[in-house]
Amino acid sequence: MTFIKEHTENTSILQRIAKGDQTAVQDCLDQYGNLVWYLVKKFNGNAEDAEDAAQEIFIDIWRNAARFDEAKAPEAAFITMIARRRLIDQLRKRKRQWQFQSLEESSFAAHKNSDRQMQVALDAQRASRVINGLRPERKQVINLSIFGGLSHLEISERTGMPLGTVKTHIRRGFQRVRKSFGAESASCSDFGLA
């Protein structure tokens, strides 16, 4: 694939641009446009970003034309270096924007998560206060169920209460907790007690 057209003049295009030759700008676009487009498309997946990058590269080429020294490097190498620098800067900028957006999103998620954790903690304290205010036998049955992880039958065996009484104490205890949260219509299945 040929990126550079042959140029027969003795003075380089960049030297002519540096001297203010208006025709040299079009010659630069004609001769190095394919090279710049190849590099830009290699670095950018988005066509709109590619066009912006190509324009910025040519502006950089025109601004830096006076720095070109054909004794140090060929004109194509100088243009490739400018294009490469501009494209790397563009990639770094996108990466910083992505990291900043990612940081904002993660801090929002962490904030949202900590708000949720705080609400759960407050709800647990509220439920605990309600449970602690229950009659002693009801409180005991609920604590054995929640903190002891015992089934209704195990609670019945441990306390000597009839199974029906254990179930009634748990159901009424949780109804009291739900009522304190304004969820009177919730069923026992909401608490895994069905």
More confident residue, 28 or 3: 28
pLDDT of residue 189: 43
pLDDT classification of 29: cutoffs 50, 70, 90: confident
More confident residue, 175 or 8: 175
More confident residue, 111 or 128: 128
For the chain, give the percent of residues with pLDDT over 90: 15
Mean pLDDT of the chain: 79
The CB density around residue 65, as the number of other CB atoms within 10 Å, is 24
For 121-162, the pLDDT digits (tens) are 787 888 888 888 889 999 898 888 887 788 999 999 999 999
**Rounded to 10 degrees, what is the CA torsion of 8, 11, 15, 19?**
-120
Q: For 33-47, what is the mean pLDDT?
A: 82
Q: Does residue 63 surpass a pLDDT of 70? A: yes
**Where does residue 133 fall: left (phi above 0), alpha (psi -120 to 50 degrees), or beta otherwise?**
alpha
Residue 47, phi then psi, degrees to nearest 5: -65, -40
Collapsing DSSP states into helix, strand and coil, what is residue 185?
A: coil
**What global pTM score does this model have?**
0.45
Q: How far is CA 184 from CA 128, 145, 175, 180, in A?
A: 17, 21, 7, 8
Query: 124: exposed, middle or buried (C-beta count within 10 Å: 0-12, 13-18, 19+)?
Result: exposed
pLDDT of residue 162: 93
From 188, 185, 168, 184, select the one nearest 176 (Cα to Cα): 184
For 100, the enclosing helix (H) or strand (E) is helix 75-132
From 49, 60, 55, select the one nearest 94 (Cα to Cα): 49
Q: For 2-8, what is the mean pLDDT?
A: 44
Q: Does residue 73 surpass a pLDDT of 70? A: yes
| Interatomic CA distance for residues 141 and 169, integer angstroms | 7
pLDDT of residue 161: 92
Domains of the chain in sequence order? 13-99 (1.10.1740.10), 133-191 (1.10.10.10)
pLDDT classification of 6: cutoffs 50, 70, 90: very low
| Interatomic CA distance for residues 4 and 163, integer angstroms | 91
141 close to 160: Cβ distance less than 8 angstroms: no
pLDDT classification of 174: cutoffs 50, 70, 90: confident
Q: Which amino acid is at 69?
A: D
